[in-house]
Chains A and B, each alone.
Chain A
Amino acid sequence: MSALNEAMTAVPLLEMRGVIKRFGGVTALDDINLRIDPGEVVALVGDNGAGKSTLSKVIAGVLQPEDGDVLVDGTAHKITGPTHARSLGIEVVYQDLALAPNLDIATNLFLGREIVRRGAFGWLNTRRMRAEAKEHLDSLDVNVPSLTTPVERLSGGQRQAIAISRATYGGHRLIVMDEPTAALGVRETAKVEQLITRLSERGISVLLVSHNMAQVKKITHRVLVLRRGRLVAERRTADVSAEDVVSLITGAREE
């Protein structure tokens, strides 16, 4: 772990200390200690039932841990819910994307946080939303046919890009992504991977839940391996091969 200690000078964006989550008698997360630095892309891997979603949900504020501390920017927070997590700069892109297929791209980007004109009626400032949506998508190099296209007419990769752009809008600094490319083809996967790399270059951290070892090798800086609720290994991606990660997941190789 000496190589990792070098990076421990700056304040981490997110830190977990001794986090425990139980469901009845089952310990879903057992003494989790981890840190995610600004701009880091961290892979979260593990077999089914290893606790990946539980860990994502604790970070997203959907679940509250029984014990341990969650620190954001070095300050311990008791994250009460997704809205609280969002206010701390943490956003989640769910597997089902949480987009409204019948609404257009700009409307989806601003859903639930529309820009309204002054007054009590919630009168939309459509022009400003379109302009800001365009600016935001351009800054992330996301190409879409037109902002007024309903999301249902987009390809899977474009939808994923919209969901990720949506998550990063409004100054979110840590994006948790649950298998963002699971349903995508080769080219679309490559586009989403480029997008994740761009987020990292802009200082946005990504926690990437993935089963795709090639992807983990290609775009992440660090790998966290979960097995039966325990964080059994933490490696710099550059230091391990895809095969190593697989054996860590299955337990064929121990620390």
Chain B
Amino acid sequence: MTSKNDTRSGGGSLLHRLPAFPPWGAALIGALLVAIVVAIGNDAFLTSRNLSNIFAQTAVLAILATGQAFVMLTAGIDLSVAAVAALSATMLGVLTVANDLPWFVGLVVCLVVGAAIGALHGVLVGRLLLPAFIVTLGGLMVWRGVALQLTGGINTTGLADPIRWLGRGLVAGVPVPAIISVLVVAVSTLVIVKTKFGVGLRAIGGAEGAAARAGVPVLRYRITAYVICSVLACLGGIMLAGRLDSAGGNLAQGFELQVIAAAAIGGVSLFGGTGSPVGAFFGAILIGLIQNGMNLGGVSPFIQQIVSGGILVLAVGVDQFRKYLARRIL
């Protein structure tokens, strides 16, 4: 590693090739390793029922982490996603069950409210220059409070069939939430990699001043990122409520930390500028696999928490090491 020339040929040890891996490589390899270990250790893992369970459960995590990736790319953070998901689910329950509105009207209203919440976050961060951490921490408390207040903390059940289908339906044996999450991730990745908006977001996260001077509409793009994040949080919340057939202010408590962990494990940088929804997706899958494996193995929830925390730090550490190598070698 002392000479700069011995890596030109592209061959060399695995260590030398590491920088060429995409940032989500660690999450993908981690997920495969965990899957192999769990599959060897437990016969129940490789059953189609268990696998489709994992995808159904991680779908919502992947969708929220994808939204989070948009915000994190701009060097921001959205701590309010789980609260917004809960608010949206609660509103859907109130509108469609308590007030008998058609399910699609409720769905559209919820997504529009989500967009408005995201726009508010975006304006507070981008225009009033309040720290994203504070704005969305406040949002976390406010939106969950609003959700609890709406029904007095009572959960609504008996959601419309199409809503439940979003959370637990099957198409040709494949869980609907898994299909939705793959679509969301695929479209989001294309947006970030292949559009002017995506380049602008990455430029804002990499060097905001440079982006502004180059003519990137920084404020508009930043607000859009928060809008996308909140709308996807609403979608995820509705799917989660559909799966549980229960919508209330307590939905997805503390879930925001798993969402941010999934994105970070998938190589989406907290400092902005790098990462993609594909990474967030693999991060979510890795978390889902680990939880599933430990559940199957009868590991206590306390130990599960310790392991999840360790893996978060490990994954981000691997990514930092990769970047360090990239700087040294290339």
Contacts and interface: CB of A to CB of B under 8 A. Distances in A.
B197 A122 contact: yes
A57 B132 CA distance: 33
A188 to B, nearest CB: 16
Given A124-B194, A153-B330, A107 B209 contact: no
B258 to A, nearest CB: 26
Contacts of A102: 202, 205-207, 273-274
Interface stretch (A12-20, A68-76, A91-99, A244-252): A91-99
Contacts of A145: 330
Contact of A111 (B199, B205, B209): B199
A102 B204 CA distance: 10
Contact of A113 (B195, B207, B211, B215): B215
Interface string A116-160: 100001111010000000000000000001000100110000000
B219 to A, nearest CB: 14
B49 interface: no
A245 B170 CA distance: 80
**How extensive is the interface on chain A, given as a class?**
20 to 34
B214 A122 contact: no
Interface of A: 82-83, 94, 96-103, 107, 111-114, 116, 121-124, 126, 145, 149, 152-153
Given A97-B210, A103-B199, A112-B214, 15 more contacts: A82-B213, A96-B210, A98-B209, A98-B210, A99-B207, A100-B203, A103-B206, A111-B211, A112-B211, A112-B215, A113-B214, A114-B199, A121-B195, A126-B194, A153-B327
25 contacts: A82-B213, A94-B213, A98-B209, A98-B213, A99-B210, A100-B202, A100-B203, A100-B206, A102-B205, A102-B206, A103-B203, A111-B203, A111-B216, A112-B200, A112-B216, A114-B199, A122-B196, A123-B195, A124-B194, A124-B196, A145-B330, A149-B330, A152-B327, A153-B326, A153-B327
